[in-house]
Chain A
Amino acid sequence: MSISYLQKQKSKISLGKAGAWIFLGVILFISLFPVFWMLRTALSPNQNLFSANLDLFPDGMSLNNFKRILGFATLEEAQAMGGSGASLNFLLYLWNSIKFTLTVVLGTVTFAVCGGYALARLNFRGRNAIFYLLMSGLLVPSMFATIPNFILIIKLHLLNTFAGSVAPFVFGTPFAVFFMRQFFISFPKEIEESSELDGLGVLGRLRKIVLPMSLPPIYTLALITGVGAWNEYLWPYLVSNDENKRVLTVGLRIFLAQSPSTAPDWAGLMAATTMTIVPVIIILAIFGKKMIGSIQLTGFK
């Protein structure tokens, strides 16, 4: 009896396991398929999208759509491919996005490390008051702040400048400072105290002892900040909508608006969408493993 019970248990478990594998497989497929479909459409000529619309690899695949959205095709060529012929330069938008993201990440990480360290380790008057004041910033929703911030940027004459587009982000966020402070508080004091005897000052300690041992949380912060900056749409749309200063997300919106609504340039739109995703996939391919660890670090600080 006990044997048959065990067998029953075993077959039940493997049935459950099979179900769980199928569930996992389905979600994996749903996660990945849209990106495949985007690439497939981006590589197809517009004319084919109506006829061969379920083929996984339709005829006539080429990089032509990328050529025209990156500005390497003539107006006639672009129009022949189903584009509106409006000037688009996604190569420039890509560069603007990279510049924007790197600046925001660099600023946020630097200032969050400095501020977080001061709040965690240094003794000075008003430390707690400053800390709680900064934390109250966590409560401010971005749309609420966007309205007065936009007015401020106009007043400072920073509209349509790179400085204006990074200004609200580059000094770091209350979250970033809080995140680094939490880490520095748990950083073993003994290590710092022993180096103090070696005659290192506060800045020397921070640079030579603390920083090299704080790389994992710094990577995590850089990752979260980077994803946020890369995805940012509203602020760059408001502040740097100029053709030369546009980032990818804004360029994508403008491209959609210019595309004729009767026969949208889907191949071109998907090529443009690909431009916003490719850098992300490259980063994921290189740093994927590290990122997984990073995210598990953020959950429970």
Chain B
Amino acid sequence: MTPQKKAVTMSQSKLFRRDRQGKVAFFLLLPTLIGFSLFYIYPTIRGIALSFTNTIDLGTPGENVGFENYIKVFQDPIFWNAVRVTLQYVVINIGSQTVIALGLAVAMDRLTTKTWIKIALLMPWLIPGVSAAMLYRWMLNPLIGVINQFLAIFGHPGYLFFGSETMAMPTVALVNTWRFVGYTSLLIYAGIQMIPKNLYEAASLDGATERKLFTKITLPLLRPVLVMVMVVSFIGSFQIFDTMVIATDGGPMNSTRAINYYIFEKAFEQYKIGYAAAMATLLLIFLALLSLIQMRIARASDSDLSQA
């Protein structure tokens, strides 16, 4: 076959295929599109619509009440408290998680390549949120939990943990740091592996100390990865829910009634569907904005890395 002839048959076959490709693509995408329409598009429209109604029964739609739910939400002290305690949770969780994970990643990079260490660090990530909460509810039991029993050896009276208004949310946050710190450290570790090793070699030959290597090479080159990891963790962290279900029920005194837990209670325990939908819509707007910022950063950090 001459080259031209081959080219002609190729393009003819491509042309023929393009027609058929539309059909094939339609069938390949059909399940995704069905699922997406039913469980993403429909609920988004319905969820926003519900927020303008006074629906109090899951079976029957309520009447239109305009912005009444939103006005009530903005006047609801428990809502503002929920925002406050959620932010408290996020700051403690993301702060401790990122710092420890960064330390772990650097330590693993400099000390060891043993896989079992990484596997062990990953394990808490695989444990369901409700199970982790149950585990800590037992270990942090004020009377017979292992932590307070251990403290008692030193004559320490122990803590109330989940039972204390001031300690409950920090405790919940640290439980989730326990769950996610290993996973996060593996992500950061992968980021460190992308930093060219010869940078370190050159710097140590010039007499740079470990600390200098960390502050002058690792941290600046890791910044985009760290920012990404933190933003993604933030979006997940803001939606904290499972731990409260087992550990605190939102108490004591609303101190762990985070925004997602409050929405859940309003919708599925008090059946104030319209009201819950209004809060959920505000959550949607807030997290969507955050995600858009994250995508922006992702694009920016891509170019950062390619420059490095």
Determine how close the nearest CB of chain B comes to the CB of A294; give it in whole angstroms: 10
* A273 and B186 in contact, given A31-B121, A141-B283 (Cβ under 8 angstroms): no
Contact call A143/B186, Cβ cutoff below 8 A: no
| Interface segment, one of B71-79, B155-163, B176-184 | B176-184
* A233 and B242 in contact, given A227-B126, A292-B115, A299-B225 (Cβ under 8 angstroms): yes
From A115, A227, A277, A296, B28 is in contact (CB under 8 Å) with: A115
Interface centre among B28, B46, B115, B141 (most CB of A within 10 A): B28
| Interface segment, one of B101-109, B164-172, B195-203 | B101-109
In the complex formed, the residue of B with least CB distance to A16 is B210
Interface centre among B121, B128, B150, B239 (most CB of A within 10 A): B128
From A114, A148, A252, B43 is in contact (CB under 8 Å) with: A148
Determine how close the nearest CB of chain B comes to the CB of A117; give it in whole angstroms: 6
Contact call B120/A28, Cβ cutoff below 8 A: yes
Flag whether B273 is at the interface (Cβ < 8 A).
yes
Contact call B126/A284, Cβ cutoff below 8 A: yes
What total of chain B residues lie within 8 Å of the partner, measured CB to CB? 103
Contact call A276/B128, Cβ cutoff below 8 A: yes
Determine how close the nearest CB of chain B comes to the CB of A246; give it in whole angstroms: 13
Determine how close the nearest CB of chain A comes to the CB of B258; give it in whole angstroms: 11
Chain A interface extent, by class: 35 or more
| Interface segment, one of A32-40, A62-70, A73-81, A211-219 | A32-40
Q: Which residues of B contact A114 (CB under 8 A)?
A: 28-29, 31-32
Flag whether A127 is at the interface (Cβ < 8 A).
yes
Flag whether A92 is at the interface (Cβ < 8 A).
no
Contact call A233/B33, Cβ cutoff below 8 A: no
Q: Which residues of B contact A61 (CB under 8 A)?
A: none
Contact call B24/A202, Cβ cutoff below 8 A: yes
- A230 vs B106: C-alpha distance when bound (angstroms): 31
- A151 vs B146: C-alpha distance when bound (angstroms): 43
Contact call A172/B29, Cβ cutoff below 8 A: no
Q: Which residues of A contact B189 (CB under 8 A)?
A: 296
From B18, B136, B183, A123 is in contact (CB under 8 Å) with: B18
Flag whether A185 is at the interface (Cβ < 8 A).
no
Contact call A284/B59, Cβ cutoff below 8 A: no
From B130, B149, B191, A253 is in contact (CB under 8 Å) with: B130
Bitwise interface map of A from 258 to 300 toward B, beta carbon under 8 Å scored 1, else 0: 0000000010011011001100110110001101100110111
Flag whether A54 is at the interface (Cβ < 8 A).
yes
Q: Which residues of A contact B245 (CB under 8 A)?
A: 233, 253
In the complex formed, the residue of A with least CB distance to B124 is A31
Bitwise interface map of A from 85 to 116 toward B, beta carbon under 8 Å scored 1, else 0: 00000000000000000000001001110110
The 7 closest A-B pairs by CB, nearest first: A171-B35, A148-B43, A115-B32, A148-B46, A296-B190, A288-B119, A231-B128
Residues of B at the A interface (CB closer than 8 Å) are 13, 17-18, 20-22, 24-26, 28-29, 31-36, 38-40, 42-44, 46-47, 50, 58-59, 100, 103-104, 106-108, 110-112, 115-131, 134-136, 138-139, 141, 144, 146, 149-150, 153, 178, 181-183, 186-187, 189-191, 193-194, 207, 209-211, 225, 229, 239, 241-242, 245-246, 260, 263-264, 267-268, 273, 276-277, 280-281, 283-284, 287-288, 291-292
Give 7 new A-B contacts, CB below 8 A, not counting A37-B146, A148-B43, A280-B123: A115-B29, A141-B284, A144-B281, A171-B31, A202-B20, A270-B134, A277-B128
A-B contact pairs, 18 of them (CB 8 A): A16-B210, A23-B103, A28-B117, A28-B121, A35-B135, A37-B135, A37-B146, A38-B135, A54-B146, A125-B22, A139-B292, A150-B268, A202-B24, A230-B126, A234-B264, A277-B131, A280-B126, A284-B122
